[in-house]
Amino acid sequence: MKKIVFSLLIVSSAFLTSCKKEKVTEDAVNTATADVVMTPGNIKLSADTQQSVIRWTGSKPTGKHNGTISIKEGDVTVKDGQILTGTFVLDMNSITVTDLKPEDGKEDLEAHLKGTSAKNGADDFFNVKKYPTGKFVITKVADENGKTVVYGNLTLKNVTKAVNFPATVVASDTLVTIDSEPLVINRTYWNINYGSKSVFKNLADKFINDEVEIKVNVKATSN
Protein backbone atom coordinates (compact mmCIF):
# COMPACT_ATOMS: atom_id res chain seq x y z
CA MET A 1 0.00 0.00 0.00
CA LYS A 2 1.09 3.59 0.21
CA LYS A 3 4.34 4.06 2.07
CA ILE A 4 5.18 7.55 3.24
CA VAL A 5 7.50 8.89 5.82
CA PHE A 6 6.42 10.44 9.02
CA SER A 7 7.28 13.83 9.86
CA LEU A 8 7.90 14.42 13.65
CA LEU A 9 9.00 14.98 15.52
CA ILE A 10 9.60 17.86 16.36
CA VAL A 11 11.17 20.61 14.19
CA SER A 12 13.38 22.58 11.85
CA SER A 13 14.73 25.89 10.64
CA ALA A 14 12.75 29.09 11.13
CA PHE A 15 10.30 30.33 8.51
CA LEU A 16 10.45 33.81 7.11
CA THR A 17 6.67 34.00 7.34
CA SER A 18 3.94 31.68 8.56
CA CYS A 19 3.15 30.63 5.00
CA LYS A 20 6.69 30.25 3.67
CA LYS A 21 8.34 27.00 4.69
CA GLU A 22 12.14 26.91 4.77
CA LYS A 23 14.05 23.64 4.67
CA VAL A 24 16.69 22.72 7.23
CA THR A 25 20.13 23.14 5.70
CA GLU A 26 23.30 21.23 6.54
CA ASP A 27 24.82 24.17 8.38
CA ALA A 28 21.75 24.28 10.63
CA VAL A 29 22.46 20.77 11.89
CA ASN A 30 24.56 21.30 15.01
CA THR A 31 24.02 19.93 18.49
CA ALA A 32 23.47 22.30 21.40
CA THR A 33 23.11 21.85 25.13
CA ALA A 34 21.26 23.62 27.91
CA ASP A 35 21.78 22.86 31.60
CA VAL A 36 19.41 24.67 33.92
CA VAL A 37 20.02 24.43 37.67
CA MET A 38 16.85 24.63 39.72
CA THR A 39 17.18 27.82 41.77
CA PRO A 40 14.67 29.81 43.79
CA GLY A 41 12.11 31.24 41.39
CA ASN A 42 12.40 28.40 38.86
CA ILE A 43 9.17 26.46 38.42
CA LYS A 44 8.81 23.11 36.68
CA LEU A 45 5.54 22.34 34.90
CA SER A 46 4.45 18.89 33.70
CA ALA A 47 3.42 18.11 30.14
CA ASP A 48 -0.28 17.51 29.57
CA THR A 49 0.01 14.37 27.48
CA GLN A 50 -3.67 14.38 26.57
CA GLN A 51 -3.45 17.82 24.96
CA SER A 52 0.05 17.66 23.48
CA VAL A 53 0.68 16.23 20.02
CA ILE A 54 3.04 16.30 17.05
CA ARG A 55 1.28 16.48 13.66
CA TRP A 56 3.13 15.34 10.53
CA THR A 57 2.69 15.33 6.75
CA GLY A 58 4.85 13.30 4.38
CA SER A 59 4.63 13.33 0.59
CA LYS A 60 5.68 11.65 -2.65
CA PRO A 61 4.97 12.38 -6.33
CA THR A 62 1.61 10.59 -6.23
CA GLY A 63 0.23 12.09 -3.02
CA LYS A 64 0.73 12.61 0.69
CA HIS A 65 -0.24 11.25 4.11
CA ASN A 66 -0.58 12.84 7.50
CA GLY A 67 -0.85 11.74 11.09
CA THR A 68 0.22 12.28 14.68
CA ILE A 69 2.73 11.24 17.34
CA SER A 70 1.91 11.46 21.06
CA ILE A 71 3.96 12.98 23.85
CA LYS A 72 4.72 10.29 26.44
CA GLU A 73 5.95 12.62 29.18
CA GLY A 74 7.73 15.91 29.63
CA ASP A 75 8.27 19.07 31.61
CA VAL A 76 9.05 22.76 31.13
CA THR A 77 11.04 24.99 33.49
CA VAL A 78 9.95 28.63 33.69
CA LYS A 79 10.99 31.70 35.64
CA ASP A 80 9.22 35.06 35.70
CA GLY A 81 7.01 34.01 32.80
CA GLN A 82 9.92 32.94 30.60
CA ILE A 83 10.79 29.42 29.41
CA LEU A 84 14.28 28.36 30.49
CA THR A 85 14.26 24.79 29.17
CA GLY A 86 12.01 21.83 28.57
CA THR A 87 12.13 18.14 27.72
CA PHE A 88 9.49 16.14 25.85
CA VAL A 89 9.64 12.38 25.28
CA LEU A 90 7.97 11.22 22.05
CA ASP A 91 6.15 7.89 22.02
CA MET A 92 7.19 6.42 18.68
CA ASN A 93 4.83 3.47 19.17
CA SER A 94 1.97 5.97 18.95
CA ILE A 95 2.61 6.88 15.29
CA THR A 96 -0.83 7.18 13.70
CA VAL A 97 -1.97 7.81 10.12
CA THR A 98 -5.05 10.02 10.16
CA ASP A 99 -5.92 10.36 6.47
CA LEU A 100 -6.56 6.66 5.78
CA LYS A 101 -9.31 4.28 6.86
CA PRO A 102 -8.56 0.67 7.87
CA GLU A 103 -9.84 -0.65 4.56
CA ASP A 104 -7.51 1.75 2.70
CA GLY A 105 -4.32 0.46 4.30
CA LYS A 106 -4.13 2.54 7.49
CA GLU A 107 -2.70 -0.28 9.64
CA ASP A 108 -0.26 -1.36 6.92
CA LEU A 109 1.24 2.10 6.63
CA GLU A 110 1.40 2.56 10.41
CA ALA A 111 3.21 -0.77 10.76
CA HIS A 112 5.64 0.18 8.00
CA LEU A 113 6.43 3.51 9.66
CA LYS A 114 6.93 1.80 13.03
CA GLY A 115 8.99 -1.02 11.53
CA THR A 116 6.66 -3.72 12.84
CA SER A 117 5.45 -4.97 9.46
CA ALA A 118 6.29 -8.58 8.59
CA LYS A 119 6.85 -7.71 4.93
CA ASN A 120 8.98 -4.58 5.36
CA GLY A 121 12.33 -3.86 6.98
CA ALA A 122 12.24 -2.92 10.66
CA ASP A 123 14.65 -0.04 10.08
CA ASP A 124 12.98 1.41 6.97
CA PHE A 125 11.62 4.29 9.03
CA PHE A 126 11.58 4.38 12.85
CA ASN A 127 12.23 0.84 14.14
CA VAL A 128 10.18 1.39 17.30
CA LYS A 129 11.29 -1.89 18.89
CA LYS A 130 14.87 -0.66 18.94
CA TYR A 131 14.06 3.05 19.33
CA PRO A 132 10.71 3.24 21.21
CA THR A 133 11.07 6.92 22.09
CA GLY A 134 12.36 10.15 20.65
CA LYS A 135 13.13 13.35 22.52
CA PHE A 136 13.02 17.10 22.08
CA VAL A 137 14.93 19.32 24.51
CA ILE A 138 14.32 23.07 24.49
CA THR A 139 17.58 25.00 24.87
CA LYS A 140 16.37 28.56 24.31
CA VAL A 141 13.29 30.62 23.49
CA ALA A 142 14.02 34.01 21.93
CA ASP A 143 12.19 36.89 20.24
CA GLU A 144 13.62 37.47 16.77
CA ASN A 145 12.33 39.78 14.04
CA GLY A 146 8.89 40.00 15.59
CA LYS A 147 8.55 36.24 16.11
CA THR A 148 9.11 33.91 19.04
CA VAL A 149 11.60 31.18 18.06
CA VAL A 150 12.06 27.94 19.97
CA TYR A 151 15.55 26.38 19.81
CA GLY A 152 16.39 22.84 20.84
CA ASN A 153 17.73 19.36 20.15
CA LEU A 154 15.65 16.69 18.43
CA THR A 155 16.68 13.05 18.93
CA LEU A 156 15.34 10.27 16.71
CA LYS A 157 16.91 6.81 16.29
CA ASN A 158 19.73 7.88 18.64
CA VAL A 159 20.66 10.77 16.32
CA THR A 160 20.53 14.29 17.79
CA LYS A 161 20.34 17.44 15.68
CA ALA A 162 19.78 21.05 16.64
CA VAL A 163 16.57 22.56 15.28
CA ASN A 164 14.52 25.72 15.72
CA PHE A 165 11.05 26.90 14.79
CA PRO A 166 8.80 29.96 15.17
CA ALA A 167 5.83 29.45 17.47
CA THR A 168 3.09 31.10 19.45
CA VAL A 169 4.23 30.73 23.05
CA VAL A 170 2.30 31.42 26.25
CA ALA A 171 4.28 31.05 29.48
CA SER A 172 3.39 31.67 33.11
CA ASP A 173 4.05 30.05 36.48
CA THR A 174 1.06 27.74 35.97
CA LEU A 175 0.73 27.19 32.20
CA VAL A 176 2.90 26.86 29.10
CA THR A 177 1.60 26.36 25.57
CA ILE A 178 3.73 26.11 22.44
CA ASP A 179 2.00 26.06 19.05
CA SER A 180 4.44 26.03 16.16
CA GLU A 181 3.97 27.29 12.64
CA PRO A 182 4.14 24.60 9.94
CA LEU A 183 7.79 23.76 9.43
CA VAL A 184 9.90 21.43 7.34
CA ILE A 185 12.62 18.98 8.37
CA ASN A 186 14.80 16.69 6.27
CA ARG A 187 14.24 13.16 7.57
CA THR A 188 17.55 11.81 6.25
CA TYR A 189 19.43 13.90 8.86
CA TRP A 190 18.09 11.33 11.36
CA ASN A 191 18.88 8.29 9.14
CA ILE A 192 15.25 7.88 8.08
CA ASN A 193 16.24 6.96 4.54
CA TYR A 194 13.54 4.72 3.05
CA GLY A 195 12.67 5.77 -0.51
CA SER A 196 14.97 8.79 -0.46
CA LYS A 197 16.37 9.64 -3.89
CA SER A 198 19.18 11.57 -2.22
CA VAL A 199 20.30 8.28 -0.63
CA PHE A 200 19.25 5.72 -3.26
CA LYS A 201 20.00 6.70 -6.85
CA ASN A 202 17.86 4.30 -8.92
CA LEU A 203 14.35 5.02 -7.66
CA ALA A 204 13.08 6.90 -10.75
CA ASP A 205 9.66 8.23 -9.71
CA LYS A 206 9.28 5.66 -6.89
CA PHE A 207 10.67 7.96 -4.24
CA ILE A 208 9.39 9.61 -1.08
CA ASN A 209 10.30 13.24 -0.44
CA ASP A 210 13.01 13.85 2.13
CA GLU A 211 11.18 16.90 3.43
CA VAL A 212 8.48 16.35 6.05
CA GLU A 213 6.16 19.04 7.38
CA ILE A 214 5.34 19.07 11.06
CA LYS A 215 3.46 21.11 13.64
CA VAL A 216 4.20 21.04 17.35
CA ASN A 217 1.40 21.60 19.85
CA VAL A 218 2.38 21.11 23.50
CA LYS A 219 0.88 22.13 26.81
CA ALA A 220 2.36 21.97 30.31
CA THR A 221 0.67 22.82 33.60
CA SER A 222 1.34 22.95 37.30
CA ASN A 223 -1.24 20.19 37.84
- pLDDT reading at 216 higher than 60: yes
Contacting residues for 135 by C-beta, under 8 A, at least 6 apart: 87, 88, 89, 90, 153, 154, 155
CA distance 18 to 183: 9
Q: Strand 63-79 relative to strand 133-144: parallel, antiparallel, unpaired? A: unpaired
Whole-angstrom Cα distance, residue 217 to residue 99?
Answer: 19
- Residues 7 and 163: beta-carbon distance below 8 Å: no
Question: pLDDT tens for residues 13-54?
Answer: 333 333 345 444 444 544 455 555 567 789 999 999 999 999
Domains, the chain, ordered by start? 26-221 (2.40.128.110)
Indicate the average pLDDT of the chain: 86
- pTM, entire model: 0.83
Least confident of 37-41, 59-63, 115-119, 191-195: 37-41
Distances (CA, A) of 75 to 65, 168, 203: 30, 18, 42
pLDDT in tens, 113-139: 999 998 888 999 999 999 999 999 999
